[in-house]
């Protein structure tokens, strides 16, 4: 899958409680990235009695391809078992989360904690590759745990035959607070080239537009860019990132995404309603309805009266109230 992507390529970052199949399908309609990732899912839960509930996080539709399943944990044997399951589920790739800095996750020794346990990290990668068979395995991680350690960490990871390596250009300790250390991605590319590795290098951190992403690609000679929080500011962010029959440079030479200020308030609310109705169709209007409120800011923004309308919608107590409230918004 990775080798067939256009260069450079752009990815919507996996975000817990955000990038589920509903939101990904909405993004397909506004401008599809070159690759989608699922939310990150623990291998322990997939192999537990609670499997039916957690498997919803791995739901996807055909229009979301190529789609990569992201998993995390600490037991290599479980990674191998889960990888075999993901192959049968038809995913286009498997990604191992070695970057999440959330304290409760780190305490288990998983995700970014693996930066301090390179031996286990390598065992997990090799076990996943074994279970994945011909399916490509990639890693998303950070440039260090408490301090920057790009060189030793990247070298260790590239000793394995992973297909792609995404680097969030902050340490786990930094969370998402200081500016991303983009100079470190250039160091990673240099290490990759010196090692003769074929692993694709992807940068992540503080990129809000395709224009910025293109600038990073050109400056650091990376293969692709992963964009996360920028999607909240502009759901049309990837609009010119899609390649079907045409090459991207024939679609938009400057790689810029649609300016959200050119989208009318009515169009934004129509898209919000589409999102709400799709959520209702796929997931119903049960206990997870509150999660939908976080998406209101994606659509009700950057137009006169948006703040007041958004506050009113946030008062909704049910999905139906939210849908009705969005339908009744007055722009006059």
Tell me: the pLDDT tens digits for 17-47? 899 999 999 999 999 999 999 999 999 999 9
One DSSP character per residue, 311-330 reads HHHTT--SHHHHHHHHHT--
What pLDDT digit, counting tens, does each position of 294-332 carry? 889 889 988 889 999 999 999 998 899 999 999 998 876
Q: What pLDDT was estimated at residue 332?
A: 63
In 3D space, the residue among 172, 111, 166 whose CA is nearest the CA of residue 147 turns out to be: 172
Q: What pLDDT was estimated at residue 292?
A: 83
> Which residues lie across from 95 on neighbouring strands?
70, 138
The domain limits of the chain are: 2-261, 263-327
Residue with tokens 């250390």: 181
Q: What pLDDT was estimated at residue 251?
A: 43
Splitting the chain (332 residues) into consecutive groups of 10 residues, what average pLDDT does each group show?
A: 94 93 95 96 93 90 97 98 98 98 95 98 98 98 97 98 98 94 97 97 96 95 96 90 47 63 89 93 76 87 90 91 91 68
Pick the CATH number of 263-327 from 1.10.1200, 2.30.30, 1.10.3470, 3.10.50: 1.10.1200
Which of 100, 111, 191, 231 is flagged as catalytic?
A: 100
DSSP 8-state symbol, 249: H
What is the rounded CA–CA span in Å between residue 13 and residue 204?
8
Identify whether the C-beta of residue 123 lies closer than 8 Å to the C-beta of residue 148.
no
Residue with tokens 């395995």: 137
What is the rounded CA–CA span in Å between residue 162 and residue 44?
22
In 3D space, the residue among 71, 14, 75 whose CA is nearest the CA of residue 42 turns out to be: 71
Give CA angle at 231 (247, 198), nearest 5°: 50
User: Catalytic site residue 111?
Assistant: no
Range list of H helices, the chain:
21-30, 43-46, 51-54, 76-88, 103-106, 118-132, 150-157, 183-195, 210-220, 230-233, 248-251, 265-283, 289-292, 296-299, 306-313, 319-327
Contacts of 190 (CB under 8 A, 6+ apart): none
Q: What pLDDT was estimated at residue 199?
A: 98
Two tokens, residue 269:
């609310």
Q: What is the 3-state secondary structure (H, E, C) of 104-171?
A: HHHCCCCHHHHHHCHHHHHHHHHHHHHHHCCCCEEEEEECECCCECHHHHHHHHCCCCCCEEEEECCC
Q: What pLDDT was estimated at residue 245?
A: 36
Model pTM score: 0.93
Q: What pLDDT was estimated at residue 257?
A: 79
Two tokens, residue 113:
């904690």
> Which residues lie across from 36 on neighbouring strands?
12, 67
What is the rounded CA–CA span in Å between residue 171 and residue 218?
24
Burial 264-281 (b: 16+ CB within 10 A, else e): ebeebbebbbebbebbbe
Residue with tokens 């996996």: 14
Domain 2-261, classified CATH 3.20.20.70, yes or no: yes
Q: What pLDDT was estimated at residue 97?
A: 98
What is the rounded CA–CA span in Å between residue 76 and residue 297?
39
> Is 196 exposed, middle or buried (CB count within 10 Å of its CB: 0-12, 13-18, 19+)?
exposed
DSSP 8-state symbol, 206: S
Identify whether the C-beta of residue 271 lies closer than 8 Å to the C-beta of residue 30.
yes
Two tokens, residue 272:
């919000």
């Amino acid at each position: 899958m990775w080798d067939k992507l256009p260069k450079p390529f752009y990815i919507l970052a996996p975000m817990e409680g955000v990038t589920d199949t509903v939101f990904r399908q909405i993004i397909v309609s506004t401008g599809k990235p070159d690759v989608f990732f699922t939310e990150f899912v623990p291998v322990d839960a997939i192999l537990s009695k609670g499997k039916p509930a957690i498997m919803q996080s791995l739901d996807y539709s055909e229009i979301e391809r190529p789609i990569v399943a992201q998993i995390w944990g600490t037991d290599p044997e479980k990674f191998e078992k889960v990888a075999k399951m993901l192959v049968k589920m038809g995913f286009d790739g498997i990604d191992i989360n070695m970057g999440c800095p959330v304290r409760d996750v780190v305490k288990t020794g998983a995700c970014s904690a693996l930066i301090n346990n390179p031996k286990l990290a390598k065992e997990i990668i090799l076990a996943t590759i074994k279970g994945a068979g011909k399916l490509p395995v990639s890693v998303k991680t950070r440039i260090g745990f408490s301090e920057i350690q790009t060189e030793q960490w990247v070298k260790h990871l590239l000793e394995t035959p992973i297909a792609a390596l995404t680097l969030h250009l902050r340490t786990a300790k930094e969370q998402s607070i200081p500016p991303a250390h983009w100079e470190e991605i250039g160091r990673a590319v240099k290490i990759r080239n010196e090692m003769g590795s074929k692993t694709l290098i992807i940068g992540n951190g503080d990129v809000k537009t395709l224009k910025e992403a293109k600038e990073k690609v050109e400056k650091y000679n990376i293969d692709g860019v992963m964009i996360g929080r920028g999607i909240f500011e502009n759901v049309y962010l990837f609009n010119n990132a899609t390649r079907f029959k045409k090459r991207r440079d024939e679609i938009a030479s400057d790689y810029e995404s649609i300016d959200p200020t050119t989208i009318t308030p009515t169009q934004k609310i129509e898209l919000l309603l589409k999102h709400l109705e799709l959520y209702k169709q796929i997931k119903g209007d049960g206990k997870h309805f509150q999660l939908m409120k976080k998406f209101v800011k994606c659509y009700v923004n950057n137009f006169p009266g948006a703040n007041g309308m958004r506050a009113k919608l946030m008062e909704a107590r049910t999905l139906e109230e939210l849908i009705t409230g969005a339908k009744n918004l007055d722009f006059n």
